[in-house]
Amino acid sequence: AQSVTQPDIHITVSEGASLELRCNYSYGATPYLFWYVQSPGQGLQLLLKYFSGDTLVQGIKGFEAEFKRSQSSFNLRKPSVHWSDAAEYFCAVPSTGRRALTFGSGTRLQVQP
Amino acid sequence: EAQVTQNPRYLITVTGKKLTVTCSQNMNHEYMSWYRQDPGLGLRQIYYSMNVEVTDKGDVPEGYKVSRKEKRNFPLILESPSPNQTSLYFCASSLQASGGAASTDTQYFGPGTRLTVL
């Protein structure tokens, strides 16, 4: 069954530093991959998604993610973090047989001034 | 403004007292879904609906009911809530329910309903 693993529960970075959030997937075929962000007290918002083609995907808010089939990874990156990026980030893949998403357990990002 | 709305946003109730959490979307989406979010578990799907009068179970349907009488609304019903249903609930919708198994549609999420069952 398809699944995603986010190895880091909690990450703290300084404002202006670079960021990489890890996501490893298990998927039978060519994967569709998503990153969502949940700001405090808010619902989830799509940051970016990968279906096929270029392995480097650009998203909103200056985020990007790189699909690496050899490593089964889809890590999220941002070159310079802003305090407003403090949130929880979820990687997701489609569930089999129904229009749902299987989410990772999330990574909470804290940004230090 | 295109959005998914949920009500109430916060609810504290007692064991066994029936409750309904409403969800409405104004984007004419066919697909709607309910998730619950628990610490360390991410989001898990409870029920989903491919269109009016078409609903099906997700990963964790026990103790929940849903209905889809209109395209825009997808209420979540807890007939007899229990403390293990204390959670953060999200409604989501996406444009089309047709197609293959892999979903490519963006799902739009409501702001969440924090439910506490005492």
Q: Is the Cβ pair A106, B42 closer than 8 Å? A: yes
Q: Is the Cβ pair A46, B103 closer than 8 Å? A: no
Tokens 């109730």 correspond to what residue?
A: B13
Percent of residues, chain A, with pLDDT higher than 90: 69
What's the first-to-final CA gap in chain B, in angstroms?
Answer: 36
Model pLDDT for residues A40-94, shown as the tens digit of each residue? 888 899 999 998 788 899 999 999 999 999 999 999 999 999 999 999 999 998 8
Rounded to an integer, what distance in angstroms lies between the CA atom of residue B102 and that of residue A94? 6
How does strand B76-78 pair with strand B19-25?
A: antiparallel
As a whole number, the mean pLDDT across chain A is 91
Q: Is the Cβ pair A43, B106 closer than 8 Å? A: no
Q: Which two tokens stand for residue B50?
A: 């491919």
Q: Is the Cβ pair B107, A42 closer than 8 Å? A: no
Q: Which two tokens stand for residue B16?
A: 């066994």
Cα B5-B9-B13 angle, rounded to 5 deg = 135
Maximum C-alpha span of chain B = 42
Q: Which two tokens stand for residue B88?
A: 């953060």
Average pLDDT of the segment spanning A88-107? 85
Average pLDDT of the segment spanning B24-52? 92
A85: nearest Cα among A15, A20, A34: A15
Higher local confidence (pLDDT), A29 or A77: A77
B7: nearest Cα among B96, B67, B89: B89
CB nearest to A105's CB, from B42, B58, B99 = B42
Model pLDDT for residues B56-102, shown as the tens digit of each residue? 999 899 999 999 999 999 999 999 999 999 999 999 998 875 554 44
Q: Residue B117 pLDDT more than 90?
A: yes
Whether the CB of A94 is below 8 Å from some CB of chain B: the reply is yes
DSSP B24-92: EESS--SEEEEEEEETTTEEEEEEEEEETTEEEE-S--TT-EE--SSSSB--EEESS--GGG-EEEEEE
Q: Is the Cβ pair B42, A43 closer than 8 Å? A: no
Rounded to an integer, what distance in angstroms lies between the CA atom of residue B45 and that of residue A91? 15
Cα B25-A94-A107 angle, rounded to 5 deg = 85
Residue of A6, A45, A99, A108 for testing the chain B interface, max B β-carbons within 10 Å: A99
